[in-house]
Amino acid sequence: MPYPASAIANEFIRLAKKSNRPLSPMKVQKLVYFAHGWYLALTGEPLINEPVEAWKFGPVIPSLYHILKPYGSTDIAEPLTDDPFHVFVDDEVHEYSIDDGYNPDENAHAKKIVKRIWDVYGGFNAVQLSNLTHNEDAPWSQTLDKDKKHTVIDQDLIKQYFSRVLQRNRERQQAAQNNA
């Protein structure tokens, strides 16, 4: 079951707080993109239930961009909610969460992959992560009309790219084991 990008972002926000690392809007945007790509490669299914667009400076999930926009370039301090400014005094504010999914096993698997993405990419800054999305064979680089508004990066392109990276990593590990 795909999740709202905000639910995946909140898992990264939680992990960042736990490890005492700063998390800017741009960094969380790229982390959610990487989590989605790796999830596609590993499971064949999308992690998020919304498209990734090819914006001028890289892949962006528009809904996440708009939720994070008030932060500017400052670090994200609180989980994302359906009421980011907490103006509804009488209503309960809902934090987006992977646990909102219907299948507890899928939720646990999604959290496990997000945690692994954090372990691998969490030490990178936003610019370094953005640079990774600009590799020559990366989906953003392969998408035409990047300067055109609302250009969606084809999900199959994302899946194929991360599957190739996964295969290369497996081949490297196998070669290293053979040489040991």
**Domain positions in the chain:** 5-179
Amino acid 92: pLDDT: 67
Amino acid 112: pLDDT: 97
d(CA 46, CA 36): 6
Query: pLDDT over 90 for what percent of the chain?
Result: 69
Average pLDDT over residues 120-131: 95
Amino acid 113: pLDDT: 97
Residue pair 149/73 in contact (Cβ under 8 Å)? The answer is: no
Work out the burial of residue 95: count CB atoms within 10 Å of its CB; fewer than 13 is exposed, 13-18 middle, 19 or more buried: middle
pLDDT at residue 13 tops 70: yes
Interval 22-57: pLDDT, tens: 999 999 999 999 999 999 999 999 999 999 999 988
- Phi (first) and psi of residue 51, to 5 degrees: -75, 155
Provide the H-helix boundaries in 44-125.
62-68, 104-121
Stated as kind and residue range, the H or E segment containing 55 is: strand 53-55
Amino acid 16: pLDDT: 96
Q: b/e per residue, 64-87, with b = 16+ CB within 10 A?
A: beebbeebeeeebeebbbeebeee
d(CA 61, CA 50): 7
Average pLDDT over residues 68-82: 88
Interval 84-121: pLDDT, tens: 544 445 566 678 889 988 899 999 999 999 999 999 99
